[in-house]
Amino acid sequence: MNDREASFDLILPPAIAQKAVEAGVKKAHTDGLSLILLAILAGAFISLGGMFFTVVTAGGSALPYGVTRLLGGVVFCLGLILVILAGAELFTGNNLMVMAWASGRISTRLLLRNWGIVYLGNLIGALATAILAYFAGYYQMGGGIVGQQVLTIAINKCAIPFGQGVALGILCNALVCLAVWLTMSARTTTDKIVAILFPISGFVAMGFEHSIANMFFIPMGWLLYRFDSQWVQAHVSALDFTHLTLSGFLNNLVAVTLGNIIGGTLLVAMIYWFIYQRPKEQA
């Protein structure tokens, strides 16, 4: 019985591991222009998921806290669904490329080249989306409750201590990379969406930290705070903006990025590489 018959047309884990290696090789050799454009798209896609999350969770809810977080997590899945199905390059998901590196299929230089270009492109896409959303006035929705949520999210993220940010980043990208891993087992669009749904909604509901999402959340709050002071005074003057600074943003981004790399590479990519791809003695 082959893998297809045994898994009802789904790809089994050993084959997923090989597919992940081949995907890493392909990503490593993508030309720079295509890579950065695909990365900009991914930054925008994740930001759209962030906007959706903000709207759904804004204004307080009559629902229990956990249910509201769950709903926010489900709609945030929009971001990774667009990345996987429409095609884009996401830094956190590309941490799985370590499997190709560990197999000797790509060099350290090619791995870091991909990560550097994609990280920069994700940042550009997220910042561009934040600027566009600001000028679109989306924070004024619901009589301003969306803007209040924008600022609350940004402030809370900037206030996270460095060590906690690393830990939250580790937990987040373990789930993100597992979501990407699961989509590699899928044969249909529906399979891929279902594979994304629970890991991504889970990390969002549990408050884990995603570096690319934060490239949207924090600048969006900063733009509102800095460039619409009249609106801020009228709607959220009681908030403490002490941490909503460039240094607060960078502290969060460095900590969460470090955590994301650890979670994606060590807790997912290297474990599955060791199980399925490491050289083994012949019986």
Tokens of 235: 């709607």
Q: 9-274 has which CATH code?
A: 1.20.1080.10
253 — pLDDT class (breaks 50, 70, 90): very high
Residue 3 pLDDT greater than 50, yes or no: no
Nearest CA to 92 out of 197, 186, 208 is that of 208
62 — pLDDT class (breaks 50, 70, 90): confident
4 — pLDDT class (breaks 50, 70, 90): very low
- Chain segment 5-59, per-residue pLDDT in tens: 444 568 899 999 999 999 999 999 999 999 999 999 999 999 999 999 999 999 8
Percent of the chain with pLDDT over 90: 87
CB 189 within 8 A of CB 276: no
- Residue 47 and residue 138: Cα distance in Å, rounded? 13
Tokens 């979670």 found at: 263
Question: Which whole number is the average pLDDT over 193-221?
Answer: 97
φ, ψ for residue 59, nearest 5 deg: 85, 5
Question: According to the 3-state scheme, what is the secondary structure of the chain?
Answer: CCHHHHCCCCCCHHHHHHHHHHHHHHHHCCCHHHHHHHHHHHHHHHHHHHHHHHHHHCCCCCCCHHHHHHHHHHHHCHHHHHHHHHHCCCCCHHHHHHHHHHCCCCCHHHHHHHHHHHHHHHHHHHHHHHHHHHHHCHHHHHHHHHHHHHHHHHHHHHCCCHHHHHHHHHHHHHHHHHHHHHHCCCCCHHHHHHHHHHHHHHHHHCCCCCHHHHHHHHHHHHHHHHHCHHHHHHHCCCCCCCCCCHHHHHHHHHHHHHHHHHHHHHHHHHHHHHHHCCCCCCC
Tokens of 133: 């959303």
Contacts of 207 (CB under 8 A, 6+ apart): 69, 168
Q: How many CA atoms lie within 13 A of 57 on its CB side?
A: 26
What are the sequence ranges of the domains in the chain? Answer: 9-274
Residue 242 pLDDT greater than 80, yes or no: yes
- Chain segment 86-98, per-residue pLDDT in tens: 999 999 999 999 9
Q: Which residue has the higher pLDDT, 238 or 72?
A: 72
